[in-house]
Amino acid sequence: MCGIVGYVGGRKATPILLEGLHRLEYRGYDSAGIAVPHRSRLKVTKAAVRVGELRDLVGDGLPATSGIAHTRWATHGEPTDVNAHPQQDTSKRIAVVHNGILENADELRARLTADGVTFASDTDTEAIAHLVAAALDGAETLEQAVRTALQDVEGAYGIVVMDATRPGELVVARNGSPIVLGVGDGEMFVASDVAALVRYTQSVVYLDDGELATLTADDYRTSTLQARSTAKSPTTVDVDDTDFQLDGYDNFMHKEMHEQPDAIRRALLGRLDERFATARLGGINLDARALRAVRSVKFLGCGSAYYAGQIGANLVEELARLPADAEPASEFRYRNPVIDGDTLYVAVSQSGETADTLAAVRELQRKGGQVIGVVNVVGSAIARECGHGVLLHSGPEVSVASTKAVTSMSFSFALLALLLGRVRDLSVANGTRIVQGLATLPDLISDVLATEDEIAKVADRFRDARGMFFIGRVRCWPAAREGAQKLKEISYVHAEAYQASELKHGPLALIDETMPSVVLVPDDELLAKNIGTIEQIKARGGPVIAVTNAELPHGLVDAEIRVPHATRELDPILLTIPLQLFAYHLALRLGRDIDKPRNLAKSVTVE
């Protein structure tokens, strides 16, 4: 999704802005641009190019010590040079960068056109530039003009506005699209993501929806859109620049897969209670009585977060014997769901900014639903709006394809299921078994990662497949879905996940020697059933790759990816790891852009 960077201070702005854009590249974009003050005007350079090419266009840059910059992911208008941001008003006095989508863009365009304005681009953002320019007449400050302009604007935005006549000032506003201020020593930064700032400062201020800020080199002032001061002190972010560096890895997905054992250890810290065979989740403001009053659990998330939620629902049902399910937040928000006061809703999101998940949280809260957030990014919108929940502690995740955050999500759900189970009928013995299983999981994940070369060889054998099935049964079905998702996302090979027993009700028609199936075969009570499924596939000539910790009959499958034994309820978490490696190595062999798959964005902050 789009990225915003702004700077005002004493240093040359262009290198800082370009470096900031570079740090935001992982979010996905199709064009980029920058505006800096130059001789009483704003010099805007923008094009449908990568940030590296923009750097070439800008050259060494001008001596300006302030400026704004943007990476755009097209929504209104195609990804062209003209539609790239910054957008300007007719006189070119104002420049605006904008994340989000305006809902009344057509209406604004019609109104402004009727007033004699000629639009240069197809974007909704340009309307903001014209509105601010118009509001400057009669306004004493740029902030006042922006405030007036925003009264006419409906929809989601994070914006930064510059005025050629006030080069030492940036005005920023947020409504539904993240904005964070970075407080430096004699310099101020603004960005849509801390990744662009942490190289310069760890001291940040998150803007809330409906909030506006004016930044100068030495100061920042926050207020509501209605001009009420919201004096805010900076907080310190617990990430630094090294989290956004490759550290010798070829890409972030590879780095982040290998960070999983440590990420899980962090998610585990202080959360296992061996004495009472339960979990401690201090971030959830629910005591034992409130936990007992929960009658069902529903997980809501998008993409991989939704599949992790399905793993969570199975764990809650198994360990706590509570009805539980998962639903894509994107569907939930639009279907006028019945909200049950006794249900615990769990909003799941790595970024904490996914628009659909955030909208689901708001719908729930409006209807009095009880919702907790399971989120990786501290200070993100979902974390703040839920007020309580579980932090994943995975560290920043840069690759679009989520790995360590998804694993931490499933892991956190196991802790939640254990907690809910132990205030109900989960025995001490079974609680202890799960506690021990969770404690050993990081080492088991390391063991799987150590077999990467073997998995790479299997991926290599199947690199020419035109499509694949991912087959799982009951508790491993969501893991199969996540495996298929990973392959689709980064290799562009068609992959479809099926429940093992559903195969015979349709998809078996597609099985032949050109359609490999990746079958998850945990050594559990359903082993014989899964072997039966494999035999059905083999009988139709389909190649089978088994991901397994069971002893399979000799010669049954074409390739085996071995995983160690875990506690059986936790198998789906462990079995997800080789599927990540499989997708990764297949995509690598196909020469794909691993961290930035086509058409995708890391966090989808628009509908």
User: Residue 302, interface with ligand G6P (CB under 6 A)?
Assistant: yes
Alpha-helix residue ranges (DSSP H) falling in 322-403:
329-332, 355-366, 381-386
User: Residue 350, interface with ligand G6P (CB under 6 A)?
Assistant: yes
Choice between 175 and 357, CB closer to ligand G6P: 357
Cis, bond preceding 86 (omega within 30 deg of 0): yes
Q: Is 602 a catalytic residue?
A: yes
Q: Which of 2, 302, 386, 476 is catalytic?
A: 2
CB of 283 to ligand G6P, least distance (A): 18
The four Cα atoms 208, 209, 212, 217 give a dihedral, to 10 degrees, of 40
Using alpha carbons, list the distances in angstroms from residue 394 to 112, 403, 405.
47, 10, 6
User: Residue 357, interface with ligand G6P (CB under 6 A)?
Assistant: yes
CB of 603 to ligand G6P, least distance (A): 5
The residue with tokens 């190595």 is: 585
Q: Which stretch binds ligand G6P (CB under 6 A): 67-75, 173-181, 216-224, 395-403?
A: 395-403
Q: 201, 402, 576, 580: which one contacts ligand G6P (CB under 6 A)?
A: 402
Binding characters for ligand G6P, 130-169, by CB under 6 A (x = yes): ----------------------------------------
In whole angstroms, what is the distance from residue 428 CA to residue 425 CA?
Answer: 9
DSSP SS3 for 605:
coil
User: Residue 112, interface with ligand G6P (CB under 6 A)?
Assistant: no
Choice between 69 and 400, CB closer to ligand G6P: 400
**Rounded CA Rg of the chain:** 26
97 has which bridge partners?
Answer: 160
Q: 201, 349, 410, 580: which one contacts ligand G6P (CB under 6 A)?
A: 349
Choice between 234 and 379, CB closer to ligand G6P: 379
User: Residue 403, interface with ligand G6P (CB under 6 A)?
Assistant: no
CB of 199 to ligand G6P, least distance (A): 22
Q: 354, 408, 412, 530: which one contacts ligand G6P (CB under 6 A)?
A: 354
Choice between 280 and 598, CB closer to ligand G6P: 598
Taking each helix axis as running N to C, give the angle between helix 452-461 and helix 571-589, from 0 to 180 degrees, rounded to the nearest 10: 60
Closest C-alpha among 592, 599, 602 to residue 490: 592
Choice between 75 and 603, CB closer to ligand G6P: 603
| Helix H or strand E encompassing 469 | strand 467-472
Q: Which stretch binds ligand G6P (CB under 6 A): 135-143, 309-317, 365-373, 394-402?
A: 394-402
Q: How many residues does the chain have?
A: 607
Choice between 202 and 354, CB closer to ligand G6P: 354
Longest Cα separation, the chain: 83
Closest C-alpha among 589, 577, 530 to residue 557: 530
CB of 349 to ligand G6P, least distance (A): 3
The four Cα atoms 186, 190, 191, 195 give a dihedral, to 10 degrees, of 20
In whole angstroms, what is the distance from residue 134 CA to residue 139 CA?
Answer: 10
User: Residue 358, interface with ligand G6P (CB under 6 A)?
Assistant: no
In whole angstroms, what is the distance from residue 210 CA to residue 208 CA?
Answer: 6
The four Cα atoms 12, 53, 39, 142 give a dihedral, to 10 degrees, of -80
373 has which bridge partners?
Answer: 347, 389
Q: Which stretch binds ligand G6P (CB under 6 A): 79-87, 296-304, 473-481, 584-592?
A: 296-304
Tokens representing 264?
């899980």
Q: Which stretch binds ligand G6P (CB under 6 A): 42-50, 224-232, 254-262, 344-352?
A: 344-352
Q: Which stretch binds ligand G6P (CB under 6 A): 90-98, 234-242, 398-406, 545-553?
A: 398-406
Phi, psi of 567 (to 5 degrees): -65, 130
In whole angstroms, what is the distance from residue 381 CA to residue 361 CA?
Answer: 10
CB of 373 to ligand G6P, least distance (A): 11
CB of 414 to ligand G6P, least distance (A): 18
Choice between 150 and 374, CB closer to ligand G6P: 374
# residues near ligand G6P by CB under 6 A: 15
Give CA 344 to chain center in angstroms.
22
Q: 45, 412, 603, 605: which one contacts ligand G6P (CB under 6 A)?
A: 603
Q: Which stretch binds ligand G6P (CB under 6 A): 259-267, 400-408, 445-453, 556-564?
A: 400-408
User: Residue 394, interface with ligand G6P (CB under 6 A)?
Assistant: no
User: Residue 239, interface with ligand G6P (CB under 6 A)?
Assistant: no
Using alpha carbons, list the distances in angstroms from residue 244 to 14, 80, 239, 592.
20, 29, 9, 21
Tokens representing 555?
């010669």
Choice between 87 and 357, CB closer to ligand G6P: 357
Count Cβ atoms within 10 A of the Cβ of residue 110 and give its class: 0-12 exposed, 13-18 middle, 19 or more buried: exposed
Closest C-alpha among 46, 44, 55 to residue 16: 55
Choice between 302 and 537, CB closer to ligand G6P: 302
37 has which bridge partners?
Answer: 42
CB of 307 to ligand G6P, least distance (A): 8
User: Residue 305, interface with ligand G6P (CB under 6 A)?
Assistant: yes
User: Residue 351, interface with ligand G6P (CB under 6 A)?
Assistant: yes
Q: Which stretch binds ligand G6P (CB under 6 A): 397-405, 449-457, 464-472, 532-540?
A: 397-405
User: Residue 380, interface with ligand G6P (CB under 6 A)?
Assistant: no
User: Residue 400, interface with ligand G6P (CB under 6 A)?
Assistant: yes
- Contact indicator for 102, 155 with CB cutoff of 8 Å: yes
Choice between 150 and 383, CB closer to ligand G6P: 383
What residues have CB less than 8 Å from 60, skipping those under 6 apart? 14
Q: 21, 36, 500, 604: which one contacts ligand G6P (CB under 6 A)?
A: 604
Q: Which of 46, 255, 404, 602 is catalytic?
A: 602
What residues have CB less than 8 Å from 112, skipping those under 6 apart? 119, 127, 130, 131
Q: 260, 304, 549, 605: which one contacts ligand G6P (CB under 6 A)?
A: 304
User: Residue 330, interface with ligand G6P (CB under 6 A)?
Assistant: no
User: Residue 600, interface with ligand G6P (CB under 6 A)?
Assistant: yes
Closest C-alpha among 291, 297, 360, 357 to residue 325: 297
What residues have CB less than 8 Å from 167, skipping those under 6 apart? 37, 64, 66
User: Residue 567, interface with ligand G6P (CB under 6 A)?
Assistant: no
Annotated catalytic residues are: 2, 602
Query: Which residues in this chain contact ligand G6P in the complex, by CB under 6 A?
Result: 302-305, 349-351, 354, 357, 400-402, 600, 603-604
